[in-house]
Amino acid sequence: MNSMHPQLQAQRVKTTTMTLVSSLLQALLIGLFAWNGTVTWMVAGWFFVLSVGSTGFFLLAVVRGWNLRFRDRWLLWAQLLANYLIQLIFIVAAPRLWMIFLASSLVSFNYAMLGFTPQQFRWTWLGFGATTALALWIGRARFAYPELTNFNIVLMWLFFFLAVRRLSLIGMQFSTLRAELSQRNKQLTLSLARIQELASHDDLTGAFNRRHFMELLQDERERSHRTQQPYSVALFDLDHFKAINDRFGHAAGDAVLRDFCTLVQAHMRVTDRFARWGGEEFVLLMPVTTPVESASLAVERIRSAVAAHGWTSIEGLPADFRVTVSAGVATSVRGEAVEALVARADTALYQAKRAGRNCFVMAP
């Protein structure tokens, strides 16, 4: 599916167009050498037909989408082979320009960097060495150089200048691809971070979710087993929360939940971990609660802050609106499973509700 992406196909059209332009420029140079008498017009004409004709055909194939029928949708192998064979033929057919055609074959090889695998590079390199050696051996007796006239020197300079241009264009493509890859990596990193956040956090309140909290709780149990330092868990329940939804609507109820989480996170210790347990129930993990009274102090600090908080920032709630919270607290004992610890905190929470709410109970 990705190989048929419009942007990728547009990149293929751009690359193949660059190849056609390069062929036209080289054909023009060969024509100038023919005009100067360095090679015959027949050589220049055949080079134009073969080089421009083949690259033009490849461009048409990409523009029409014919390339999508093949596994090599860039048509790299076909283009490189066609261009390379043409350069080899004219090393022998125009021996006075053998250096130009040899250099052109080398520049064309750089287009392989757009899509070849390391193994393909290795075999192409070996093939390049073998075939150029054969061509040079066949034409060795007739090799010469253009006369060092001012015009020929300009043509030679122009050829190598254009060759560097082709290399620069390839480099620009790599730079563009690197920039696109970097941008996609950044987007992927942000997406992965968002996925991880959604996997571990409650979407409404931003607190940890229950599944992630249980992982944290299990980690804390293992740490406590190693250090022999107890830890505590507090379960919170917003008192009469259903009445808030019934009287003021679910939007106001959601806002109360979010503000409650903000209050808790502002009053808990840096080392504590807070999560939404379900509905209007929340849970707080308090590592290293020695002596036990430290857990009581932490929970009371939160309970008092909630009771004293003004909720006027939430639209639809009256100025005298108040929220209270009940809590059950349990401190770990040696060898206790995390499920048993949470169950003791849950029992203590229900005792706090039966005791009139807006209070907390420590589990025995």
Q: Does pLDDT of 145 surpass 80?
A: no
Contact 214, 278 (CB under 8 A): no
Region 37-45: what's the mean pLDDT? 93
What's the confidence (pLDDT) of residue 151?
A: 84
Count of Cβ atoms closer than 10 Å to residue 203 Cβ:
9
Residue range 158-184, pLDDT digits in tens:
888 877 777 776 667 667 767 777 888
**What pLDDT band is residue 3 in, cutting at 50, 70 and 90?**
very low
Peptide linkage before 95 cis (omega within 30 of 0): no
Helix ranges, the chain (H): 6-35, 41-47, 53-63, 76-93, 98-109, 118-138, 150-200, 210-227, 241-248, 250-267, 293-308, 338-354
Region 49-65: what's the mean pLDDT? 93
* CATH number of the domain located at residue range(s) 210-362 in this protein: 3.30.70.270
Contact 208, 216 (CB under 8 A): yes
Query: Radius of gyration (Cα) for the chain, nearest Å?
Result: 38
What's the confidence (pLDDT) of residue 112?
A: 64
Residue range 216-240, pLDDT digits in tens:
999 999 999 999 899 999 999 999 9
Region 314-320: what's the mean pLDDT? 86
Using CA atoms, how far apart are residues 131 and 211, in angstroms rounded to an integer?
A: 64
Lowest mean pLDDT among 113-117, 270-274, 307-311: 113-117
Using CA atoms, how far apart are residues 356 and 262, in angstroms rounded to an integer?
A: 25
Using CA atoms, how far apart are residues 330 and 348, in angstroms rounded to an integer?
A: 8
0.75 surpassed by pTM: no
Q: Does pLDDT of 119 surpass 90?
A: no
Where does residue 318 rank: exposed (0-12), middle (13-18), buried (19+ CB within 10 A)? exposed
Of 336, 331, 15, 348, the C-alpha closest to 173 is: 15
Q: Does pLDDT of 307 surpass 60?
A: yes
**Residue ranges of domains in the chain:** 2-191, 210-362
Percent of the chain scored above 70 by pLDDT?
93
Using CA atoms, how far apart are residues 81 and 47, in angstroms rounded to an integer?
A: 15
Using CA atoms, how far apart are residues 35 and 44, in angstroms rounded to an integer?
A: 9
Percent of the chain scored above 90 by pLDDT?
48
Using CA atoms, how far apart are residues 226 and 28, in angstroms rounded to an integer?
A: 80
